[in-house]
Amino acid sequence: MVKNGKGLLIELDTFFIVDKKRVAIVGVTGSVGQEFVQSLKNHPWFEVTQIAASERSAGKKYTEAIRDPNSGIVSWEVGGEIPEYIKEMVVKRIDELDVSQLDLVFSAVESVAARDIETKLAADVPVISTSSAYRYEEDVPILIPGINDEQSELLEIQKKNRNWKGWVAPLPNCTTTGLAITLKPLYEKYGAKKVMMTSMQAISGGGRAPGVSAMNITDNIIPYIPKEEGKVRVETRKILGKLKDGKIVDADIKVSCTCTRVPVIDGHTESVFVETAQDIDPITAKKMYDEYNKLITVAGLPSAPKDYYAVHEDPTRPQPRIERDVGDGMTTTIGRVEKEELFDHGLKYMLFSHNKKMGSAKGAVLLAEMLYKKGKI
């Protein structure tokens, strides 16, 4: 670590980071916004300098903005204490953000409102989003850091197409995240061609407003989540696709899925069946994930876990209560890797992915780190 005339010079493997980038969190009072607040605490590369939310919160200090004026209850939903850096910061209206003083915006806005908000912001500054508003646009990549980093080159085409100074880079749906992460090596090395997946999704994935009714989910499984299955199918093919001639060519893989809601607070579990073009056995698959851990492009970044993949021999793993804190929620856990007799070549396995960490705000911060390393921010 060396100081220079501009600030702090940090050496990480083969790249350098100079100064902290100024970032804003939009939608800062909601549950995803609060995950951003926590994920950016003491971050070595990014400094939160502006925050924004709805008219109801604008003009208030952060702690007052999330406090109910009648009951005095503070709606802090992410565990631990509210970070000191944010407590006294005044929440702005979104149109009050001074984009000339920002290098990046993290958007935690609901998808209905996100389209208009992110369009206006991206005209002047890069935006990393957890919403679906831009995911399915032809010039917009759906990025999972460490999985399809090369598709980030599409951001330059997006800027040119739209005459923007910035861009919009959305994360995938949180259910897609774990599936795409585990399929990447199987698709790349063994030609995964058909996938059947059943998800057991945490109630936190439904948000708090309107959220999932306690009466509906207690002692129950809800066998349908609106629009979820279509998102998983489309997003998985796009993420595993290739950038060619300025466009993403979808992966040649068929995805069938059933998405369900279960009475688990945090973390999605998925049962996956994969048919591959080439033969693969469970021992080889486990070695493959170990090899990919060594090759993963985001290794060493501040928000990256020590192990991107964790593979278990214990047939009772993965379990949400056990896995959700592994790698601070950034590790994708795989278990029950077995030969699948339905296919000539194929496997079945279970996976766990944290919907509020890797699948949301902290995954977005890791994405920002990857894009910063590439010189996109």
Residues with a catalytic annotation lie at: 174, 268
User: Are 229 and 163 spatial neighbours (Cβ–Cβ below 8 Å)?
Assistant: no
Q: What's the order of all strands across the beta sheet hosting 15-18?
A: 2-4, 7-12, 15-18
Buried b or exposed e, range 77-106, using 16+ CB within 10 angstroms: ebeeebeeebeebebbebeebebeebbbbb
Nearest in space to 253 (alpha carbons), one of 191, 198, 199: 191
Residue spans of beta strands (DSSP E) within the chain: 2-4, 7-12, 15-18, 21-26, 46-53, 91-93, 104-107, 127-129, 168-170, 192-201, 242-244, 247-249, 254-261, 268-276, 309-311, 332-339, 346-353
Q: In this structure, what token pair is assigned to residue 179?
A: 């599936």
Give me 147's structure tokens. Answer: 């999985």
Integer Cα distance of 2 and 22 in angstroms? 21
d(C-alpha 352, C-alpha 354), whole Å: 7
Q: Measured between alpha carbons, how far is 174 from 245 in angstroms, rounded to an integer? A: 29
Q: Choose among 287, 319, 289: nearest CA to 307.
A: 289
What tokens does 320 get? 């949400």
